[in-house]
């Protein structure tokens, strides 16, 4: 069941049990063939296809470092898609990432069906997978689970999007592999592989965006030192000023970011280690017109429908703003066991420091003294044994410990200090044949948590609240491939999470929406049972993937309005309290990409989510609107100095969200909207240096719109037309293996 892939042609097949394979109808000439099997080093061979029969035989060696999770090792080659996973998975590979470089992580992920974003102005976007976000999504960066202040809707993932060599999104519950919190899905960001046994390699990427005069630069360099060592260093910087809607400048919406990452690897025989360190630092402005005092102010701002002040463009960032620093250090080591299996140990340390600055402070300088600051430190230790394939069965078992502490700074008190420790153990096995794969696993997590809230949430002395949570996650999935070009995958997964510290103990006003939020110390854990079914087809001219899902959640935690508003000396605020209900989310998402005629390709993707409370049949608030995106791409003729040149045009249509609970929101959902995006990209080779460039115009017609999941939709439109220019220059051995 070795995979045989022709990456350049986007074709492939599987060998039978004896290892024989056959492909017909290949074009004459030189073809790159890649052989892959879980647990083995992939092998690439170039052959010259002549008329008649051509024979090519290879032997795979068992030197590949372990399995890449339950997912078949690597890559986005269309063919691998068919047997990629029993889950619904979407991937952004190197090529697709190049086209999106410079965007925020959330913006990049929103290209994928089933993924939308929750935005707080142009500077902050959080991925929403099938209607779920924040604490219901796990983000894994360079193999370590990202631990930031996940609970806030305006807290974006603290990850440099330039550092990604590959991004993978698992839609739906994945509790067995990712543990607590993987209810809605998982985002995995993988850095590029270390360049073992290669000379100096690297790249430079430069990007400019017109709407907010945003410039982003990134550079990476790495090399292999002798046989055993390799390293890579990557850095990026960006600066953006205020964005603008078609009619207004979004005052104080600029941001800046500087990131640095380094990796050092050593390998010898079957052993190796990898040391990875990264620093992420950003300052984000928040639209100052969205900073309001009380509910009466909110009502007047909504009635006005546009900002009270005409802002001027600036790069300056004033309060309200956020300053976030995230540092990660991880060290992983692996070695082969005499049984042929692999054992791997990974230790990680993360420090997340967040300071939020309020618009005005009476006792200090609003730009220097944060309204509140939080310092979260997380230590993790993961051990895993990756089994070598034994008569069609492969998999991995593991255990991990994570401990973290969160401390408030001197000012402000939004969520209490806390400590928590989580212990987990899991086993995950796959049975693989050429037509059928069965995937099953189980996991147990136990969490101990001690928080220090005030006695009655709002006031009184600090008290100690110790709680423990535990539960079992499980998965059962199949991939059935009845025909060469079609596969059907289905997955039943269970996941859970304990209530978040904010959901338990939060108490206070949320500026921007003027709602008074109260935690609920009696909350229990939230559990999910997710079923999804995915149909995939890959042939030379047509690729499609279509998923349907149903995610039933027991004890879904969300803010529910209280009957009495909260009256304070600052005025009146609608009061909300965290409650638990049983809810069901269901939906459809998918995409199709087809070669229409000649060099013209067409593609379309769509996402639909429905969320309801089971008992009351009420719709859930803040579910993404239905959306569809269709486009055409024209591939230009290749020239010696110009390759991969293409032109594309896309239409993105988003419906109005008509399903929402009555009487909860402060304004009706905004109207639907349709945006047109056009662009061109290509690779210009000058001498031996390939320069990949692109020009894109997003929102070509400068349409005014507000997305339902924009947290500023009460105050101002989303940004208007944006012209972006990107350039990417790799150096070192290029993709074809030639040295430049």
Partner 1 sequence: MKYLDTRIFVLPLLFIVLLAGCDSTDPDPEGVGEEELITRLAVTLSANGQSVTYEANDPDGDGTNLQIETMVLQSGTTYSGSIAVFDDVNGEDVGEEIADEDDEHQFFFIPGGPAAARLSVVATDQDENGLPVGLSFQLTVAGGGSGTASLQIILSHFDDAPKDGVNRSDETDIDVTFPVTIQ
Which part of the chain contacts partner 1 (CB under 8 A), choosing from 97-105, 126-134, 359-367, 682-690?
Answer: 359-367
Determine if 410 is a binding residue for partner 1 (CB under 8 A): yes
For partner 1, the binding residues in 219-258 under the rule CB under 8 A are 251
**Which residue spans within 358-392 are E strands per DSSP?**
372-390
For partner 1, the binding residues in 275-314 under the rule CB under 8 A are 288-289, 291-294, 296-298, 300-301, 308-309, 311
When binding is defined by CB under 8 A, the residue of 45, 46, 95, 360 that contacts partner 1 is 360
Q: 676: buried, middle or exposed (CB in 10 Å: 19+, 13-18, 0-12)? A: middle
> Looking at beta carbons only, is 29 or 461 nearer to partner 1?
461
Q: Say if CB 273 and CB 265 are below 8 A apart.
A: yes
Q: How far is the CB of 487 from partner 1 (least distance, A)?
A: 36
Determine if 667 is a binding residue for partner 1 (CB under 8 A): no
When binding is defined by CB under 8 A, the residue of 566, 603, 648, 713 that contacts partner 1 is 566
Which part of the chain contacts partner 1 (CB under 8 A), choosing from 150-158, 168-176, 192-200, 370-378?
Answer: 370-378
Q: How far is the CB of 658 from partner 1 (least distance, A)?
A: 29
Which part of the chain contacts partner 1 (CB under 8 A), choosing from 110-118, 203-211, 415-423, 671-679?
Answer: 415-423
> Looking at beta carbons only, is 335 or 643 nearer to partner 1?
335
Number of neighbours of residue 20 by Cβ within 10 angstroms: 8
Determine if 568 is a binding residue for partner 1 (CB under 8 A): yes
Closest CA relative to residue 39, chosen from 308, 357, 390, 362: 390
When binding is defined by CB under 8 A, the residue of 396, 406, 698, 699 that contacts partner 1 is 406
For the record, the structure tokens of 677 come out as 């995006």
Strand 185-190: give its sheet, edge to edge.
88-92, 166-171, 185-190, 137-141, 144-145
Which part of the chain contacts partner 1 (CB under 8 A), choosing from 36-44, 138-146, 333-341, 537-545?
Answer: 333-341
Which part of the chain contacts partner 1 (CB under 8 A), choosing from 96-104, 267-275, 473-481, 675-683?
Answer: 267-275
Helix (H) or strand (E) segment spanning residue 397 = strand 393-408
Q: How far is the CB of 670 from partner 1 (least distance, A)?
A: 20
Helix (H) or strand (E) segment spanning residue 198 = none
> Looking at beta carbons only, is 449 or 710 nearer to partner 1?
449
Q: Say if CB 735 and CB 688 are below 8 A apart.
A: no
The three-class DSSP label of residue 86 is coil
The three-class DSSP label of residue 224 is strand
For partner 1, the binding residues in 453-472 under the rule CB under 8 A are 454, 458-459, 461-462
Q: Say if CB 7 and CB 46 are below 8 A apart.
A: no
> Looking at beta carbons only, is 418 or 728 nearer to partner 1?
418
CA distance 346 to 527: 28
Which part of the chain contacts partner 1 (CB under 8 A), choosing from 148-156, 227-235, 325-333, 630-638?
Answer: 325-333
Task: Name beta bridge partners: 548.
Answer: 533, 588
Determine if 325 is a binding residue for partner 1 (CB under 8 A): no
When binding is defined by CB under 8 A, the residue of 11, 244, 321, 334 that contacts partner 1 is 334
When binding is defined by CB under 8 A, the residue of 390, 570, 599, 639 that contacts partner 1 is 570
For partner 1, the binding residues in 416-435 under the rule CB under 8 A are 416-419
Determine if 561 is a binding residue for partner 1 (CB under 8 A): no
Closest CA relative to residue 370, chosen from 342, 407, 411: 411
CA distance 627 to 683: 32
Closest CA relative to residue 62, chosen from 83, 43, 85, 77: 43
Closest CA relative to residue 8, chosen from 60, 57, 45, 63: 45
Any idea which residue has 């543990």 for tokens? 179
Strand pairing class (673-686; 342-357): unpaired
When binding is defined by CB under 8 A, the residue of 407, 485, 537, 659 that contacts partner 1 is 407
């Amino acid at each position: 069941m070795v995979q045989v892939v022709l990456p350049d042609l986007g074709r492939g097949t599987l060998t039978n049990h004896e290892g024989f394979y056959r492909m017909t109808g290949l074009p004459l000439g030189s073809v790159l063939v890649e052989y892959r099997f879980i647990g083995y080093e992939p092998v690439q061979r170039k052959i010259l296809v002549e008329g008649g029969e051509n024979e090519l035989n290879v032997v795979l060696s068992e030197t590949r470092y372990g399995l890449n999770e339950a997912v078949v090792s690597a890559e986005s080659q269309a063919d691998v898609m068919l047997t990629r996973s029993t889950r619904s998975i979407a991937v952004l590979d190197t090529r697709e990432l190049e086209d999106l470089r410079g965007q925020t992580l959330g913006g990049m992920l929103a290209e994928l069906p089933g993924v939308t974003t929750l935005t707080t102005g142009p500077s902050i976007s959080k991925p929403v997978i099938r209607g779920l976000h924040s604490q219901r999504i796990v983000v894994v960066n360079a193999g370590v689970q990202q631990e930031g202040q996940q609970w806030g809707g305006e807290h974006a993932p603290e990850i440099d999007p330039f550092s990604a060599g590959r991004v993978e999104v698992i839609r739906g519950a994945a509790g067995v592999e990712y543990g607590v919190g993987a209810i809605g899905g998982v985002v995995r960001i993988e850095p590029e592989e270390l360049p073992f046994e290669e000379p100096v390699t690297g790249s430079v990427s430069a990007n400019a965006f017109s709407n907010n005069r945003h410039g982003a630069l990134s550079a990476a360099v790495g090399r292999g030192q002798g046989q055993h060592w390799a390293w890579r260093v990557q850095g990026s910087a960006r600066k953006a000023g205020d964005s603008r809607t078609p009619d207004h400048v979004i005052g104080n919406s600029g941001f800046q970011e500087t990131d640095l990452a380094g990796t050092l690897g050593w390998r010898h025989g079957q052993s190796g280690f990898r040391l990875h360190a990264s620093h992420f630092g950003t300052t984000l402005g928040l639209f100052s017109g969205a900073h309001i005092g009380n509910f009466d102010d909110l009502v007047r701002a909504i009635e006005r429908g546009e900002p009270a002040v005409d802002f001027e463009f600036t790069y300056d960032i004033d309060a309200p703003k956020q300053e976030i620093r995230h540092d990660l250090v991880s060290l992983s080591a692996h070695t082969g066991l005499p049984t042929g299996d692999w054992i791997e140990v990974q230790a990680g340390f993360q420090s997340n420091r967040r300071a939020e600055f309020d618009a005005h402070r009476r006792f200090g300088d609003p730009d220097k003294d944060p309204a509140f600051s939080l310092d979260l430190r997380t230590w993790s230790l993961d051990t895993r044994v990756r089994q070598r394939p034994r008569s069609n069965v492969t998999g991995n078992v593991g255990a991990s410990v994570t401990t973290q502490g969160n401390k408030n700074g001197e000012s402000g008190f939004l969520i209490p200090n806390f400590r928590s420790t989580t212990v987990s153990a899991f086993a995950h096995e796959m049975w693989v044949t050429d037509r059928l794969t069965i995937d099953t696993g189980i996991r147990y997590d136990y969490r101990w948590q001690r928080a220090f809230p005030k006695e009655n949430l709002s006031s009184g002395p600090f008290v100690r609240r110790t709680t423990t949570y535990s539960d079992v996650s499980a998965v059962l999935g199949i991939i059935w491939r009845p025909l060469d070009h079609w596969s059907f995958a289905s997955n039943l997964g269970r996941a859970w999470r304990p209530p978040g510290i904010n959901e338990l103990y939060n108490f206070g006003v949320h500026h921007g929406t003027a709602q008074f939020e109260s935690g609920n110390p009696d909350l229990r854990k939230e559990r999910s049972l997710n079923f999804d079914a995915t149909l995939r087809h890959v042939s030379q001219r047509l690729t499609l993937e279509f998923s349907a899902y149903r995610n039933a959640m027991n004890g879904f935690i969300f803010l529910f309005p209280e009957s009495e508003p909260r009256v304070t000396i600052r005025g009146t605020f609608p009061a909300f309290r965290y409650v638990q209900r049983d809810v069901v989310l269901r939906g459809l998402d998918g995409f199709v990409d087809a070669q229409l005629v000649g060099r013209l390709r067409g593609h379309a993707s769509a996402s639909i989510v429905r969320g309801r409370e089971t008992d009351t049949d009420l719709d859930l608030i803040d579910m993404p609107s239905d959306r569809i995106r269709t486009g055409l791409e024209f591939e230009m003729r290749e020239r010696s100095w110009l390759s991969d040149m293409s032109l594309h045009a896309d239409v993105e249509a988003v419906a109005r969200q008509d399903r929402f609970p009555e009487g909860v929101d402060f304004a009706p959902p905004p109207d639907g909207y349709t945006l047109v995006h056009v662009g061109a990209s290509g690779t210009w080779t000058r001498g031996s240096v390939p320069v990949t460039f692109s020009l894109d115009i997003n929102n070509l017609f400068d349409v005014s719109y507000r997305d339902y999941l924009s947290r500023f939709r009460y105050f101002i439109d989303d940004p208007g037309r944006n012209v972006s220019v990107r350039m990417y220059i790799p150096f070192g051995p290029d993709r074809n293996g030639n040295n430049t």
